Structure formats: structure tokens, C-alpha cells
Structure 1
Amino acid sequence: MTAIPDFHGPHAEPPLPEHATLTWYDPTLRPPRIRVISHTCECRDTTYELCAAAGQGFVRRTDREKQTVHETAWTLTATARRIFQQILHGEAR
């Protein structure tokens, strides 16, 4: 039997003092299917997912402690990827 390797996504670095403040919105019910491209590790209370749907991208933020889900504005997938990278490096929240 082959063991399934333990997979953890990357951890988002703590926000830098000069980090950009993102605008977070309530989730929209646009397309019926959303694909998660990448995600942060599930070991933290707040997780981030880089998502794509209907030719656009966005970042979804889930706060399990507050039981809330928010997302950035839907935009070009390349822009959403940059935002996700900024979150990972502590450059945006």
C-alpha cells in the first residue's frame, strides 16, 4: 500500500507594517463551479484560496474563528495570482 504524503499549503507571512489593505466583499453567487488553484495551510484560523471561475480570478478568505467568508473583487486571473502572492509574503491583507 502506498502512503499518501501529508500535504500542507504555504503559510501566509504576518502582515508587514506597510502592507496594502485589501477590500473584502461578501461572496457572490456567480458561477456554479469555482476552481481552487492554490490555498494556504489549514492549520491557521484564517485561510486564503486563490480561485478561478468564468474566466476570472479572486482570493477567498475564510476565518474559522469568526465563521466568515469573504472574497476580493473578481478580476483577471493574473491579477488575482499577484494578490495571492502579496498575501503570502505579508504585503497585503
Structure 2
Amino acid sequence: MTDIPDFHGPHVDPPLPGHIKLTWYEPTGRVPRVRVVSHTCECRETTYELCAAAGRGFVRRTDRVEENVREIAWTSIATATRIFHQIMHGEAR
């Protein structure tokens, strides 16, 4: 029998003092399919996903404690990618 190692994805850094406060909206559901480009580790209560759909990008936040899903306003994929990296490094929430 082979032991499967415990795998964790990337974890979000704690928010830095003076971090950017993002506005989070209820999901729009405006497209039938969304591609998750990158995501944070599932072991945390709150996860983040960099998503792309219909040539646009956005970040989705899932809070398992509050049982809600929110997303930032849809924007260019480049801008959404930059915001996702800011979240990962504690520069934005």
C-alpha cells in the first residue's frame, strides 16, 4: 500500500497594514461556464479563485463559515490576475 502525501495548494498571506479593500459582489451567473485559472488551498475557511469567462477575468471568494460566494467586478484577465496576486501577497482583500 502506498501512502499518499498530504498536499496543500498555495496559502494566502495575511493582509498587510493599509491593504487595498476590494468590493465583493454576489455572483452574476451571466455565463454557463467559468474556467478556474488558479486557486488557493482548500484547507482554509476562505478560498480564492482566479476565474476567466467570455474573455473577461474576475476573482471569486468562497467563505465556508459564512456560507457565501462573492466575486469582484469582471474586468480584463490581466487586471484580474494582478488583483489575484495582490490577494495572495496580502496587498488586497
TM-score of the alignment, normalized to the shorter chain, above 0.5: yes
Counterpart of 1:53 in structure 2 is: 53
Identity %: 74
Counterpart of 1:75 in structure 2 is: 75
Task: Structure 1 unaligned segments of length 5 or more: list them.
Answer: none
In the alignment of these two chains, the number of paired residues is 93
Task: Structure 2 unaligned segments of length 5 or more: list them.
Answer: none
Residue deviations 1:22-81, cap 9 Å, x none?
000000011100000000000100000000000000000000000010000000000000
| TM-score, L = length of structure 1 | 0.93
CA RMSD of aligned residues (A): 1.7
| TM-score, L = length of structure 2 | 0.93
